[in-house]
């Protein structure tokens, strides 16, 4: 079997859960945050860095790897793990999100999506079958169904039609999947901003019996309250004993809300993207270290952090690296931000084990 | 004493030498190559990387640090070692080379050089006294006199006047130096492309009795044969028992020639700059790994190299990182290139100890 999931806390339909996912490339303690390595590298970092910051699984993007260097090349290298020298679990998305984000450059039919590459304008076609073929070639441990991420806002009829198509596509993905013993294929719940469609989507996917389920199309611009309400109308319809993944969410204030509603997995470019823009996550909140106010601040980024960056460099030095446009600055902040976020995830897991999640949630529910 | 130098091979006026420099931040085995960390960071790398690749001393640029973040800020941080978290030896140049490279933006008088910042056009003035004041604030183990690097070509009269001024400036630098017990001030031989001026410059500087001597103003565009001839007319006039540093030279074919003429220290941006442009140094010569020909080359950058990069990544992966414009690529190649060059320096040191430098020199004398 490609994946097994063990719940370490009492199985409940909702509420925070502590679990363990086992794949052929190792185990993942949940709730987990997955750093994003879009182009087969988490920007500025190496696999060794990722191990050091405590990453147990990373995400890579099928759309990008399909276009460059191409899934056949990755397969020839022995698959994504071998190509990028990351021996632990990997999840690939299906390319759906990226393709549907190419507004104006794409055409959707029942068969699939025709689109133009953002790199060179060349024409391409992804269908459920083709997406799974690419994901099979890349060889990640967890792969995702090809779905449509419904734009926000979208009217009811559009959302209903799209969600129904996503369910039909999910069935096609499952049939197309060639490596079910090595790669676990997750279904993706859509439904736009409509509670009844969310419920129906969840039920239709559960009917198809996937080894895990994702919640897609949330945190796309809607108010936080609406998002949480929709989440509450989704997770209760998913099986208790399968991992649940809230796609594209990694802001701590959302992560703790997701965990409270039974989510096990998260991913987001936020920590590394913010880092490259000079913003650090710390136990005292965000620190925009590139700002002039830190020019003579010789204290560490986060006095409570024991990462390589905080043990060795001052805010003043990091600020200097940003002012001088030195790559090393992007790298050090990326390292720290992931270390910080993954340390918080550890804290959260411990708190769930101890039955004290509520307090940790409070601590981070307004983290900015 | 700020610096001591021990010769491990027979003291001869010329020929390859094996030595050991001791500073307050540790020892340096010579001949040594010093990676360049212009803005208080070796581009894309961390101090930990530098330790791993085997760097024993690094160079940083006074001109750049004077402009940004300013020497007072670095001093406030506890000096350059503390600011950049590098506990081993550091050498700073004087800013002379950079200031004189600002053609059109500078005015030279006996007193010093007025110039405009390349960053914002603001007016600045560096004199021997001011340069040493900045270097004293930065706190490197080895600091350099403020000299004029004579442009190539330059007529005899210009070279003669400039070289005489460099000697007068060297005397002023020595008088201005406030931390002789902690920082060793090296003199810099100039003389342009004229043998008699090189000899005179060396003699005048030796008269001032520095703890080490650099040869400046070579490898600035002149033919290799001329450069070697000038070097042969310089090192014999320098004391045998003091370290000798050939500034700005780091190409292996030049390094072995320098060592053969009694040089102990080298620095150059070449290995890291080439890396950022996608070219790797390997035991098989240069590999322009960003080229399409490596797209499906799943062998390591250098099959004979045991560095982190060669042990973990293929040429195809590195090529992908460059094609996808991922910082990680710049970083991995910078790491490898320094590792490679510093490993060759080790090989060279062993060969000198074993009396077999000639063979190693032959191996690298046409390295491209």
Asked if A49 is an active-site residue, the reply is: no
The residues pairing with A36 across neighbouring beta strands, listed in sequence order, are: A59
Q: How close, in Å, is residue B245 to chain A by CA atoms? A: 27
When CB atoms are compared, the residue of B83, B84, B316 closest to A73 is B316
- Identify which of B46, B83, B317 has the shortest CB distance to residue A328: B46
Is the Cβ pair B69, A321 closer than 8 Å?
no
Q: What CA–CA distance (Å, rounded) separates B339 from A19?
A: 42
Q: Do B320 and A68 touch (CB under 8 A)?
A: yes
CB–CB of B249/B271 below 8 Å? Answer: no
Nearest 5°: CA angle at B201, between B195 and B205? Answer: 150
Please indicate whether, in this complex, the C-beta atoms of B41 and A328 are within 8 angstroms of each other: yes
Q: How many CB atoms lie within 10 A of CB B136?
A: 22
Interface residues from chain A to B (CB-CB < 8 Å): 39-41, 43-48, 64, 68-69, 73, 76-78, 83-85, 295-296, 298, 308, 312-314, 316-317, 320-321, 323-324, 326-328, 330-332
Residue of A nearest to B335 (CA): A46
Is the sign of the CA dihedral B317, B322, B324, B329 positive or negative? positive
Interface test with B, best of A293, A317, A334, A339 (most B CBs within 10 A): A317
Nearest to A255 by CA among A190, A186, A345, A337: A345
What residues of B are labeled active site?
Answer: 93, 267
Neighbours of A276 (CB within 10 A): 19
pLDDT of residue A100: 86
Q: How far is B64 from chain A (nearest CA, A)?
A: 9
- Output the pLDDT for position A314: 98
User: Buried b vs exposed e over B21-49: b needs ≥16 C-beta within 10 Å?
Assistant: bbbebeebbbbbbbbbbbbbbbbbbbbeb
| One pLDDT digit (tens) per residue for chain B, 368 residues | 899 999 999 998 889 999 999 999 999 999 999 999 999 999 999 999 999 999 999 999 999 999 999 999 999 999 999 999 999 999 999 998 998 888 778 899 999 999 999 999 999 999 999 999 999 999 999 999 999 999 999 999 999 999 999 999 999 999 999 999 999 999 999 999 999 999 999 999 999 999 999 999 999 999 999 999 999 999 999 999 999 999 999 999 999 999 999 999 999 999 999 999 999 999 999 999 999 999 999 999 999 999 999 999 999 999 999 999 999 999 999 999 999 999 999 999 999 999 999 999 999 999 97
> Contact A308/B44, CB-based, under 8 Å?
no
Q: Which of A41, A47, A316 has the CB atom closest to B77's CB atom?
A: A316
> What integer pLDDT is reported at residue A101 of this predicted model?
85
Of the partner residues A41, A76, A316, the one whose CB lies closest to the CB of residue B73: A316
pLDDT in tens, A342-363: 999 999 999 999 999 999 999 9
Measured between alpha carbons, how far is B343 from B330 in angstroms, rounded to an integer? 20
CB contact under 8 A, A77 and B43: no
Among candidates A43, A83, A323 on the partner chain, residue whose Cβ is nearest the Cβ of B326: A43
Catalytic residue among A49, A93, A147, A302: A93
Task: Identify the three-state secondary structure at position B79.
Answer: coil
Nearest residue in chain B measured CA to CA from A312: B85
Whole-prediction pTM value? Answer: 0.98
Look at A317 and B84 and tell me if their CB atoms are within 8 Å: yes
Q: Do B326 and A39 touch (CB under 8 A)?
A: yes
> With an 8 Å Cβ cutoff, are A308 and B41 in contact?
no
Q: For position B284, what pLDDT does the model report? A: 95
- Residue A141: predicted pLDDT: 98
Least Cα separation, residue B30 to chain A (angstroms): 28
Residue A103's pLDDT is what?
A: 72
Instruction: Give whole-number Cα distances, A88 to A116, A307, B170, B344, in Å.
Output: 33, 21, 58, 34
CB contact under 8 A, B327 and A332: no
Cβ atoms of A8 and A31 within 8 Å: the answer is no
- Rounded Cα–Cα distance for residues A224 and A125 (Å): 34
Category of B211 on φ-ψ map: left (φ > 0), alpha (ψ -120 to 50) or beta: alpha
Q: How near does any CA of chain A get to the CA of B301, in Å?
A: 14
Starting from the edge strand earliest in sequence, which strands make up the sheet with B3-7, in order?
A: B3-7, B19-23, B26-30
Contact A46 B332 (CB under 8 A): yes
Instruction: List the single residue in B with minimal CA-CA distance to A46.
Output: B328
Q: Are strands A113-116 and B213-215 parallel, antiparallel or unpaired?
A: unpaired
Q: Is the reported ipTM for this assembly greater than 0.95?
A: yes
CA–CA separation, A138 and A107 (whole Å): 25
pLDDT of residue A368: 78
Chain A positions in Cβ-Cβ contact with residue B45 (cut-off 8 Å): 328
List the catalytic residue out of A49, A141, A267, A302: A267
According to DSSP, the β-strands at B123-126 and B113-116 are antiparallel
User: How far is Cα A220 from Cα A233, in angstroms, rounded to an integer?
Assistant: 17
3-state helix, strand and coil shares in percent for chain B, rounded to the nearest 5: 40, 20, 40
pLDDT value of residue B228:
97
The conformational region for residue A352 under phi > 0 = left, psi -120 to 50 = alpha, else beta, is alpha
> Chain B contacts of A331, Cβ < 8 Å?
44, 46, 327, 331
Look at chain A and count its residues: 368
Which of B298, B299, B324 would best serve as a mutation to test chain A binding (most A beta carbons within 10 A)?
A: B324
Give the dihedral of Cα atoms B241, B245, B250, B255; nearest 10 deg. -40
């Amino acid at each position: 079997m490609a994946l097994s999931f063990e719940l370490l806390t009492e199985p409940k339909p909702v509420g925070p859960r502590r679990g363990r996912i086992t794949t052929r490339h190792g185990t993942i303690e949940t709730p987990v945050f997955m750093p994003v390595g879009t182009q087969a590298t988490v920007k500025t970092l190496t696999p060794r860095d990722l191990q050091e910051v405590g990453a147990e699984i990373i995400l890579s993007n099928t759309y990008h790897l399909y276009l460059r260097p191409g899934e056949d090349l990755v397969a020839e290298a022995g698959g994504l793990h071998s190509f990028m020298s990351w021996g632990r679990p990997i999840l690939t998305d299906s390319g759906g999100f990226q393709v549907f984000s190419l507004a104006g450059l794409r055409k959707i039919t029942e068969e699939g999506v025709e689109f133009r590459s953002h790199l060179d304008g060349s024409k391409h076609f992804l269908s459920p079958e083709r997406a799974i073929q690419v994901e099979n070639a890349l060889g990640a441990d967890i792969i995702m169904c090809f779905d449509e991420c419904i734009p926000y806002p979208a009217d009811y009829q559009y959302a209903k039609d799209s969600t129904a198509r996503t369910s039909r596509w999910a069935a096609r993905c499952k049939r197309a999947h060639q490596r079910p013993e090595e790669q676990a294929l997750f279904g993706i719940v859509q439904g736009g901003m409509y509670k009844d469609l969310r419920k129906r989507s969840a039920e239709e996917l559960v009917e198809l019996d996937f080894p895990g389920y994702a919640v897609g199309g949330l945190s796309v611009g809607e108010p936080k309250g609406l998002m949480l309400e929709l989440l509450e109308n989704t997770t209760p319809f998913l099986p208790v004993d399968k991992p649940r993944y809230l796609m594209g969410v990694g802001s701590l204030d959302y992560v703790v809300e997701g965990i409270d509603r039974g989510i096990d997995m998260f991913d987001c470019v936020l920590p590394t993207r913010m880092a490259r823009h000079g913003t650090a996550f710390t136990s005292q909140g965000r620190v925009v270290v590139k700002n002039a106010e830190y020019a003579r601040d010789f204290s560490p980024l986060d006095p409570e952090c024991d990462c390589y960056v905080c043990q060795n460099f001052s805010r003043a030095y990091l600020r200097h690296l940003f002012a001088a446009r030195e790559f090393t600055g992007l790298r050090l902040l990326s390292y720290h931000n992931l270390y910080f976020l993954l340390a918080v995830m550890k804290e959260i897991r411990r708190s769930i084990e101890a039955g004290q999640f509520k307090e940790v949630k409070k601590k981070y529910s307004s983290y900015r």
